C-alpha cells in the first residue's frame, strides 16, 4: 500500500492549495458546536475533534433545496426553470470514517434503480472525500458492531491517520490518487507509520464490546405487531432530532412556496418521527402513534434497507444516542428487539410442544 506523509505544519498550505480551485467543506465552529460547511481560509477547518453534531449528509443532500423556480404569467403558461445542478469541484475534508461510509447507503438510495436523483449525484460525483481516522471514539460510537471501525477506509477516497506531528496519507480510490498527484507528498517513513499504528491501537482500546447485528433482520421479521414498540417509544418526544442528525436518514418532503408573482418548489428533510409524516389528505394516519413510528424507524434501518439496498441504515456514529433529549438509545432498541424475538420464539415452541 502506497502510504504518504503530510506534515501537520504543512496542513494549512495543503488546504490553501485545495481552495485555489475547489470548494472545501470541513468541520467548522458554528454556534458553539461543530458542523460541516464550506471554508474560505485554512484556519477555519477544525481537524481535532471527536465527531461533529451534524453529519456530512447536508453537503450532498441539503436540508432545504430549491428544485424549480417559476414566474407567474397571466397571459401564458407559467415559465418554470430548474435549479442548476451543483457541480462545483469539492473536497470534503476531515469526515470521520462513519460519515464516509454512510454515503454508500445514500448512493444506493439516490443513485441506483429507476429513479436517479440528479441533485445528489451532481454533488457526489464532483466531491473527493478526504477522511480523518477517528483516534478518540466516544462511548456512544458503535461503528465496529457493523464490521467497520474508526480506521475503516470504506467510502473514503483518501484516509488521513494521525501520527503525531504528521498524518499518514492513504490513497484509497483512483479519485483520491488523482487528487494527491497534485501534491508532492513524501512516502511515509517507518517511524511515522509506527506512530500512526500506536494511535490506532489506543483508539481500538477505547471501543465498547462488540454486539454483532447479524440476524437482526430475522429478529425483526416476526415483530411487526409486538408490544416491544410501545415499550421502545414510551418516552420518545417525536422531536425528530435523531433523524435530522443521522447521516443515513434521508426522507424528505416536497412543497411549493407560492409568492405573489413567482414561486419555487423546494424539498426539505422530513422525519418519520413526526406524527404528521404519514397523515393522508383524508386525515387518516396509518402510523397513528409513536410506537408505529419507532417500529418504522427500526424496520427501515435494519430490515427494509438491507433488503432493498444491501446495507443497514445505520453506521453506528452514535449521534442519535448523544443528542436524544430523553436518552433513547438505538443500541438498547436493538437489544430489546433481540429479546422480544427470543421470547416470541420460546412462546411459539412452548405452544407447539404443549409445554
Strands (E), 75-145: 79-82, 90-95, 127-132
Of 166 and 242, nearer to ligand SF4 (C-beta) is: 242
Q: What share of the chain is helix, strand, coil (3-state, %, to 5)?
A: 40, 20, 40
Residue 37 phi, psi (nearest 5)? -155, 160
Residue 90 phi, psi (nearest 5)? -135, 145
Shortest reach from residue 112's CB to ligand SF4, in Å: 20
Q: What is the DSSP letter of 208?
A: P
Q: Which residues form the interface with ligand SF4 (CB under 6 A)? A: 236-242, 245-248, 273, 314-320, 324-326, 328, 330
Shortest reach from residue 295's CB to ligand SF4, in Å: 13
Q: What is the DSSP letter of 92?
A: E
Of 203 and 298, nearer to ligand SF4 (C-beta) is: 298
Shortest reach from residue 317's CB to ligand SF4, in Å: 4
Shortest reach from residue 216's CB to ligand SF4, in Å: 13
The C-alpha atoms of residue 22 and residue 24 are separated, in whole angstroms, by: 6
Of 103 and 317, nearer to ligand SF4 (C-beta) is: 317
Of 98 and 199, nearer to ligand SF4 (C-beta) is: 98
Of 162 and 248, nearer to ligand SF4 (C-beta) is: 248
The residue count for the chain? 355
Shortest reach from residue 129's CB to ligand SF4, in Å: 17
Of 219 and 324, nearer to ligand SF4 (C-beta) is: 324
Question: 34, 46 in Cβ contact below 8 A?
Answer: yes
The C-alpha atoms of residue 263 and residue 85 are separated, in whole angstroms, by: 19
Shortest reach from residue 318's CB to ligand SF4, in Å: 5
Residue 223 has which C-alpha cell? 415483530
Of 94 and 313, nearer to ligand SF4 (C-beta) is: 313
Question: 253, 268 in Cβ contact below 8 A?
Answer: yes
Residue among 214, 217, 215, 56 at smallest CA distance from 145: 214
Shortest reach from residue 254's CB to ligand SF4, in Å: 22
Shortest reach from residue 196's CB to ligand SF4, in Å: 26
CA atoms within 13 A on the CB side of 289: 9
The C-alpha atoms of residue 115 and residue 103 are separated, in whole angstroms, by: 17
Q: Residue 74: which residues within 8 A CB-CB, separation 6 or more? A: none
Residue 63 has which C-alpha cell? 436540508
Of 167 and 269, nearer to ligand SF4 (C-beta) is: 269
Amino acid at each position: 500500500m502506497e502510504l504518504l506523509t503530510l506534515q501537520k505544519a504543512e496542513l494549512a498550505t495543503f488546504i490553501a492549495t485545495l481552495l485555489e480551485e475547489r470548494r472545501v467543506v470541513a468541520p467548522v465552529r458554528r454556534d458553539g458546536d461543530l458542523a460541516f460547511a464550506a471554508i474560505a481560509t485554512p484556519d477555519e477547518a477544525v481537524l481535532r475533534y471527536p465527531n461533529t453534531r451534524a453529519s456530512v449528509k447536508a453537503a450532498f443532500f441539503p436540508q432545504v433545496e430549491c428544485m424549480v423556480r417559476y414566474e407567474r404569467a397571466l397571459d401564458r403558461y407559467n415559465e418554470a426553470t430548474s435549479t442548476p445542478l451543483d457541480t462545483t469541484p469539492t473536497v470534503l475534508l476531515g469526515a470521520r470514517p462513519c460519515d464516509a461510509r454512510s454515503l454508500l447507503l445514500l448512493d444506493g438510495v439516490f443513485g441506483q434503480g429507476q429513479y436517479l436523483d440528479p441533485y445528489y449525484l451532481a454533488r457526489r460525483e464532483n466531491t473527493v472525500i478526504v477522511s480523518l481516522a477517528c483516534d478518540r471514539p466516544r462511548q456512544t460510537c458503535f461503528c465496529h458492531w457493523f464490521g467497520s471501525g474508526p480506521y475503516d477506509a470504506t467510502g473514503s477516497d483518501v484516509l488521513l491517520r494521525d501520527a503525531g506531528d504528521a498524518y499518514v496519507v492513504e490513497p484509497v480510490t483512483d479519485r483520491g490518487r488523482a487528487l494527491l498527484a497534485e501534491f508532492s507528498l513524501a512516502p511515509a517513513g517507518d517511524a511515522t507509520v509506527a506512530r500512526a499504528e500506536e494511535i490506532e491501537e489506543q483508539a481500538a482500546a477505547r471501543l465498547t464490546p462488540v454486539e454483532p447485528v447479524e440476524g437482526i433482520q430475522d429478529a425483526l421479521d416476526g415483530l411487526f405487531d409486538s408490544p416491544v414498540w410501545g415499550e421502545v417509544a414510551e418516552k420518545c418526544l417525536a422531536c425528530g432530532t435523531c433523524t435530522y442528525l443521522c447521516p443515513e436518514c434521508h426522507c424528505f418532503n416536497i412543497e411549493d412556496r407560492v409568492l405573489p408573482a413567482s414561486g419555487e418548489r423546494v424539498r426539505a428533510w422530513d422525519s418519520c418521527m413526526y406524527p404528521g409524516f404519514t397523515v393522508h389528505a383524508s386525515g387518516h394516519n396509518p402510523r397513528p402513534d409513536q410506537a408505529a413510528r419507532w417500529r418504522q424507524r427500526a424496520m427501515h434501518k435494519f430490515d427494509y434497507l438491507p433488503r432493498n439496498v444491501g446495507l443497514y441504515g445505520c453506521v453506528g456514529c452514535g449521534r442519535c444516542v448523544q443528542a436524544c433529549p430523553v436518552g433513547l438509545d438505538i443500541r438498547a432498541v436493538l437489544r430489546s428487539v433481540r429479546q422480544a424475538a427470543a421470547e416470541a420464539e420460546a412462546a411459539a415452541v412452548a405452544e407447539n410442544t404443549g409445554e
